[in-house]
């Protein structure tokens, strides 16, 4: 099926009331992080079903989607790439990875990043040099910074924590709440697998890290320990 077929299916599945709700939820108003993003109002399961019907779009067609002002078109492109990546030959994986980074500024809302960064960026870098993530963490672009920490989820799942700690350290003083949440989430995921490793990282940092980041990081701790961290009594 062609790109035009996919776009037709998306428009056919649009829902005005759902679009209004999504535009509010994803902060698309003036000065908000998703300013100007356009939604068709398609729920994720329906969108995923449409994307599955178009697995063979070319990179040129995917580029047209990824630069679209329509949120669901960008998400459909990422869904196709995420589905394609694991079974691809090494050369194709590299092409997908490079395409992703070349278009990182269009992966510009937290749901788009969270859907794709662990699978594509983390998946490609799992057994490679990961310095690119430090560069992304230093970016002035919010979404590239979120990509840098979310990519480490792939490593965390394999009990590789070092890169996550490096990126978390770089983002420790970031001013954006979406970064606070993402870093805290990744620290929490480390704690699920190795609580000692997480607490070692928190030991000299929890008093100075943003409150939201700390709350996310210790969310699964026993209640008494969680309160002790929040009160600075560890």
Q: What percent of the chain has pLDDT over 90?
A: 98
Q: How far is it, in rounded angstroms, from Cα 101 to Cα 226?
A: 37
Domain 109-234: which topology? 1.25.10
pLDDT tier, 138 (very low <50, low <70, confident <90, very high otherwise): very high
What pTM, to 2 d.p., does this model score? 0.95
Give the pLDDT confidence score for residue 233 in this predicted structure.
81
Give the pLDDT confidence score for residue 234 in this predicted structure.
77
Tens of pLDDT, residues 161-191: 999 999 999 999 999 999 999 999 999 999 9
Give the pLDDT confidence score for residue 193 in this predicted structure.
97
Provide mean pLDDT across the span 136-149: 98
**For the chain, what is the HEC assignment?**
CCHHHHHHHHHHCCCHHHHHHHHHHCCCCCCCCCCCCECCCCCHHHHHHHHHCCCCCCHHHHHHHHCCCEHHHHHHHHHHHHHHCCCCCHHHHHHHHHHHHHCHHHCCCHHHHHHHHHHHHHHHHCCCCCHHHHHHHCCCCHHHHHHHHHCHHHHHHCCCCHHHHHHHHHCCCCCCHHHHHHHHHHHHHHHHHCHHHHHHHHHCCCCCCCHHHHHHHCCCCCHHHHHHHHCCCC
Provide mean pLDDT across the span 54-68: 96
Burial of 120 (0-12, 13-18, 19+ CB in 10 A): buried
Beta bridge partners of 38: 70
Provide mean pLDDT across the span 186-207: 97
Query: By C-alpha distance, which of 35, 73, 33 is closest to 57?
Result: 73
Domain ranges of the chain: 1-84, 109-234
Q: Report whether pLDDT(30) > 90.
A: yes
Rounded to the nearest integer, the mean pLDDT of the chain is: 96
Tens of pLDDT, residues 71-100: 999 999 999 999 999 999 999 999 999 999
Phi, psi of 101 (to 5 degrees): -70, -35
Q: Report whether pLDDT(220) > 80.
A: yes
Tell me if 152 sits within 8 A of 122, measured CB to CB. yes
């Amino acid at each position: 099926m062609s790109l035009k077929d996919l776009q037709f299916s998306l428009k056919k599945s649009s829902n005005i009331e759902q679009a209004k709700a999504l535009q509010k939820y994803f902060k698309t108003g003036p000065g908000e992080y998703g300013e100007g993003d356009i939604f068709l109002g398609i729920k994720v399961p329906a969108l995923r079903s449409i994307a599955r019907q178009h697995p063979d779009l070319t990179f040129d067609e995917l580029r047209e989607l990824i630069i679209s002002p329509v949120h669901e078109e960008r998400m459909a492109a990422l869904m196709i790439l995420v589905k394609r990546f694991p079974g691809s030959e090494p050369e194709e994986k590299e092409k997908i990875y490079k395409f992703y980074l070349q278009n990182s500024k269009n992966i510009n809302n937290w749901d788009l990043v969270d859907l794709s960064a662990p699978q594509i960026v983390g998946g490609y870098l799992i057994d490679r040099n990961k310095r690119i993530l430090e560069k992304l963490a230093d970016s002035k672009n919010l979404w590239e910074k979120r990509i840098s920490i979310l990519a480490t989820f792939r490593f965390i799942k394999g009990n590789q924590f070092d890169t996550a700690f490096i990126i978390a350290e770089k983002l420790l003083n970031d001013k954006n709440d979406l970064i606070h949440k993402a870093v805290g989430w990744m620290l929490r995921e480390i704690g699920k697998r190795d609580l000692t490793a997480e607490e070692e990282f928190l030991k000299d940092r929890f008093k100075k890290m943003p409150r939201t980041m700390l709350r996310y990081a210790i969310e699964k701790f026993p209640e008494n320990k969680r309160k002790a961290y929040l009160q600075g009594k560890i």
